[in-house]
Amino acid sequence: MTREQSIIGTYTARAPCVTVTLVVKQDHSFVQSVRTYIGETNELKGHWIVDKMAKFVVFRPFLDFSKDSRGRPVELADGPVERLLFETTMGPKNVLCPDSMHQMDFVK
pLDDT digits (tens, 9 = 90+) for 60-106: 999 999 998 999 999 999 988 887 778 889 989 999 999 999 999 99
Q: Is 57 left (phi over 0), alpha (psi -120 to 50) or beta?
A: beta
Single pTM value for the model: 0.91
Q: What is the structure's pLDDT at 1?
A: 45
Give Cβ neighbours of residue 5 (< 8 Å, ≥ 6 apart).
Answer: none
Structural domains of the chain, with CATH? 9-107 (2.40.128)
Largest CA distance in the chain: 41
**pLDDT, average across residues 31-53:** 94
